[in-house]
Structure 1
Amino acid sequence: MRTPNNERLTPDIADAPRPRKAEPERKCILSGDHGARAQLVRLAISPDGQVLPDIHAKAPGRGAWLGVSRADLEAAMAKGKLKGALARAFKGAALTVPDDLADRIEDGLRRALLDRLGLELRAGHLILGSDRIAEHARGGAVELLLHASDASADGSRKLDQAWRVGNDIEGSGATGTTLPLDRAALSVAMGRDNVVHMALADPAAAARVSLALGRLMHFLGGEEAAPEGDRRTPAALDD
């Protein structure tokens, strides 16, 4: 909208939020359900005709999208449904579905999550160390609290309690998210010793990690990370 030279912008015009672009959606070739492009897994055909996961959706050419769990994918592969769906998606192109496709997808999603955590660490957004995390949590400054799969129950419980206190939700039963990754994998990815607990205070960084984590946990058939803007875990949302 053009404003005449002698007319000043009023606050309601100057501060009006820009409309958000609709997030692109894709259709899962197995379930037929539509979902956000960023939450599904893209499959692409390699030069030698193999169907492979394109985790970051950057491979050239036609792609097919999956939004089902690993168990559903393996069931579809066993019944021959996946190959038929891929033949339709790729318009009859010659292709080969590797027997370990589910493993490759899971490995790719794990790597994507670890890479995202590493990027947030290098950007200064990831908080490590139980004492530092507890301090931020009690101050209400933690957007996302994460525990390694082999974290001790006592250590996780103490940080969960600090998080609830900081968010004024004591008694809710809310907890941090237990990652499908152990401390060894986290320590290697972070380049640090004994990484067991992590936290993010920056909302945008927490949303990026939640997206990568949600894709992996959905594929594994577990709970997804809490949605952006809600600091409670899915378990607490059921209370």
Structure 2
Amino acid sequence: MRNPRNDPLGSPNSGPGDAPALGGSERRCVLTGETSARDDLLRLALSPDGDVLPDALAKAPGRGAWIGVSRGQLETAVANGKLKGALARAFKTGQLSIPGDLPALVQAALEKAFLQRLGLEMRGGMLILGSDRIAHEARMGGVAALYHAADASEDGCRKLDQAWRVGSDAEGSGLVGERLPLDREALSVALGRENVVHLALADPRSAGRVAIPLGRLQTFLGAAGPAGNRREVADASARHDENL
């Protein structure tokens, strides 16, 4: 299937293995009609067999449609037929099939995209693991983004958050690590390491790449991260690029 001219699949400045830069061009959610940055929305693609499937990386060939809703909203739209009507207009065909478990497929695809991105950053040497190492790097100003597993202890999170604020000259601010919508078991399996409870990224560009799939997953689960953190990561990534 060909790719429509008005539906680019990636940034022209993206390198091999890179995710598109945070922000990018805008797209309109076919369910709400609201326009948002491309990186904040999820692309749905139409397979050759007419099945509507999630395209979490926004790279599948063919015509795409974009949504920016929570899982609950998507479940409702599937049940009442609103999604099918919206997609029929977007794809310009009524010959499409929406899987009954589409919301579950979307969540699985978003989780996989996020975990794969973390894996790529780890292989690139950008991921910091282990509470002691994270705390040291954070105090030295070597942490661009900090994350905690969903089942991480409050005490462990609090100590690392404080170390990050100290190293970032942000004491007294509300800067805290992202509480991920995945537990330590999921993170450990995905990264091939034991007991991954906390993790951090050393490079602003790396943090910007991870922020895209994480933001999509958080939006879908209705679990937004700490206010302002994602934008701070994006701004830091942009400043880093400008200084190269």
Distance in 2, matches of 1:44 and 1:167, equals 41
What is the number of equivalent residue pairs in this alignment? Answer: 211
| Structure possessing the higher radius of gyration over alpha carbons | 1
Q: Which residue of 2 aligns with 1:171?
A: 172
What are the equivalent positions in structure 2 for 1:3-42 lying under 5 Å apart?
Answer: 23-42=24-43
Distance in 2, matches of 1:62 and 1:115, equals 24
How far 1:140 sits from its partner (Å)?
1.8
Distance in 1, matches of 2:57 and 2:194, equals 29
Q: TM (normalized to structure 2)?
A: 0.82
Distance in 1, matches of 2:61 and 2:230, equals 32
1:29 partner SS: coil
What are the equivalent positions in structure 2 for 1:32-181 lying under 5 Å apart?
Answer: 32-181=33-182
Distance in 1, matches of 2:98 and 2:149, equals 33
The letter of the residue matching 1:229 is D
2:138 partner SS: helix
1:87-115 residue CA offsets vs partner (Å, 9 max, x unmatched): 11111241111111111111100000000
Instruction: Please state if 1:198 is matched with 2:183.
Output: no
Of all paired residues, the percent bearing the same amino acid is 62
The letter of the residue matching 1:145 is L
How far 1:168 sits from its partner (Å)?
2.1
Distance in 2, matches of 1:43 and 1:155, equals 38
The letter of the residue matching 2:77 is A
Where structure 2 has 5 or more consecutive residues not aligned to the other structure, the ranges are 1-20, 238-244
Where structure 1 has 5 or more consecutive residues not aligned to the other structure, the ranges are 1-19, 232-239
Distance in 1, matches of 2:127 and 2:149, equals 14
1:68-88 residue CA offsets vs partner (Å, 9 max, x unmatched): 121221122222111110111
The letter of the residue matching 1:60 is P
Distance in 1, matches of 2:208 and 2:98, equals 33
Distance in 2, matches of 1:175 and 1:58, equals 32
Contact 2:204-2:236 at 8 Å conserved across structures = no
How much is the aligned-residue C-alpha RMSD, in angstroms? 1.8
1:226 partner SS: helix
Q: Which residue of 2 aligns with 1:226?
A: 230
Q: Which residue of 2 aligns with 1:10?
A: none
Distance in 2, matches of 1:111 and 1:161, equals 30
2:43 partner SS: strand
Q: Which residue of 2 aligns with 1:7?
A: none
Q: Which residue of 2 aligns with 1:9?
A: none
How far 1:64 sits from its partner (Å)?
1.0
1:199 partner SS: strand
1:86 partner SS: helix
1:18-52 residue CA offsets vs partner (Å, 9 max, x unmatched): xx9x9222111001111222321111122222111
Distance in 1, matches of 2:211 and 2:33, equals 24
